[in-house]
């Protein structure tokens, strides 16, 4: 069974740049950058396009956020309570 690898690793193995991936997928530059850097979880269609551009099966790529998503805005656990 083939291991999953990050999109950045696969780009490096294929010696492709972000611009190459952007051109091959037809996706917006900001979306491609966010996908590669793990700041955005792509839709199934976007996954198919990225995987096809890299010449791999979508199941062999690691998708999703590279770091934990932290919600920094809001009022905290006391929101809605009276003092």
pLDDT at 71: 61
Count of Cβ atoms closer than 10 Å to residue 52 Cβ = 13
The partner residues of 78 in beta bridges, in order of sequence, read none
Spans of all domains in the chain: 7-60
For residue range 19-71, what is the model confidence (pLDDT) as tens digits? 999 999 999 999 999 999 888 889 999 999 999 999 999 998 988 776 665 66
Mean pLDDT to the nearest integer, 11-25: 93
Reported residue count of the chain is 83
- Select from 31, 33, 55 the least CA-distant residue to 43: 31
- The CATH architecture that domain 7-60 belongs to is Orthogonal Bundle (1.10)
Tally: H helices and E strands in the chain: 4, 0
| Per-residue pLDDT, 64 | 73
CB 41 within 8 A of CB 50: no
For the cut 80, the answer to whether the pLDDT of residue 78 exceeds it is: no
């Amino acid at each position: 069974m083939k291991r999953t690898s990050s999109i950045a690793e696969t780009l490096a193995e294929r010696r492709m740049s972000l611009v190459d991936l952007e051109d091959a997928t037809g996706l917006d530059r900001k979306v491609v950058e966010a996908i590669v850097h793990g700041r955005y979880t792509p839709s199934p269609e976007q996954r198919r396009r990225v995987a096809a551009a890299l010449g791999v099966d979508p199941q062999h790529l690691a998708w999703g956020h590279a770091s934990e998503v932290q919600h920094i805005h809001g009022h905290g656990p006391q929101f809605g309570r009276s003092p």
